[in-house]
Structures are given as structure tokens and as C-alpha cells.
Amino acid sequence: MNADASVLNRIFRGTIGCVLTVANTFGCGFLEKVYENALAHELRRAGLAVRQQAGVTVRYDGIAVGQYLTDFLIEQEVTVSNRSWFVRWTTYIVRSA
């Protein structure tokens, strides 16, 4: 997982655009899974390879230190976790390492 900056920028721009599309379409009030499935659909429509509920090995200093279940793994480079609360939906985007 060592994409260059231009690849990561393409993934980030596409992902943020998809997040905004889903958030603007639905607003708030649905269960988290509704947003997750809609975002997966938008990401695929945008031409991004996406896996939902993907297991990721967390590495530190070159060694595996744990496992993490992310809501999305995009292009094998970026993890996305969505969290649904009472009044708003936010998405955290983090580069996989």
C-alpha cells in the first residue's frame, strides 16, 4: 500500500465527492447501514474499487500490531469509517498503511 500522491489525491477527491452526494441526498435520520450501502454504490459508480467491512492489518514499525475492521477499503489504499449519530453523519478518511 504505497500509492503516490497523485493516486491518493484521485482517491480522496472521488471519495469526498461521493460522501457529499450521499449526505446531501439523504440528510440525517437513517441507520448507518443505509448510508454505508449508498456510499458503496456511489464509490463504485465513480470507478473506485471498494470493499465493505474489510479487515485491515495495522502495522507499526514494520510489524503487525493488530487487526481493524473498517467500513470501507478503497483501492487497497484508503480506509473509510462512517459513524451515524443523532443529528449528523460524518465520515473519517484515513490512508491505509
For the segment 3-50, what is each residue's pLDDT rounded down to a tens digit? 688 888 899 899 989 988 998 898 888 888 898 999 999 999 999 999
Residue found by looking up cell 484508503 in the block: 78
The C-alpha cell at 11 is 482517491
Question: pLDDT by residue (tens digit) across 55-91?
Answer: 988 889 999 999 989 889 999 988 888 765 433 445 5
Domain ranges in the chain? 5-95
Q: Which residues contact 17 (CB under 8 A, 6 or more apart)?
A: 46
Is residue 82 classed exposed, middle or buried when 0-12, 13-18 and 19+ CB atoms within 10 A define those classes? Answer: buried
- pTM, rounded to two decimals: 0.78
